Structure 1
């Protein structure tokens, strides 16, 4: 049996975008929102999330995806990062939480 899909009302990322949950905002566009992770795995650990609610990347309209990587690039440059990971986890087996 598949895990239940999170609804818009219960989605932690939707709550962060709406400001219901505080965050340290880095970059915001009309399509995406980025902020520092509250439990960072490394210096500058940030998340870039779409303002369009979707459980998986392939459910997002292309314009949200096209807007996300330039945000990640801006964050990497601002941090002076020479080495970094850019990850996108989709589904439980891929460690999406």
Structure 2
């Protein structure tokens, strides 16, 4: 079921107005719904609306996270980014025991 306030489904477009305007819009919506002019939302329509809202939210969140640290993909051969000292490497000897040189 859509909201009685115009733009209330989308918080970026929400413009509530004064208290009297909000009450007038709510009462007008209630009168229309009681008179049968507004059809209730079906389950399929509600599920589609919620899926669209979830997809929009996920896209916004992905863009928000990407704005902090873009993930750059290296193309082609490249050197390891960190050198590992041979002294800190774990070497396994006979029967899988760890050896220290």
TM-score per shorter chain, which class? Answer: under 0.3
Question: How does the TM-score come out when normalised to structure 2?
Answer: 0.24
Structure in which a larger fraction of residues adopt strand: 1
TM (normalized to structure 1)?
0.25
Structure 1 or 2: more helix by fraction = 2
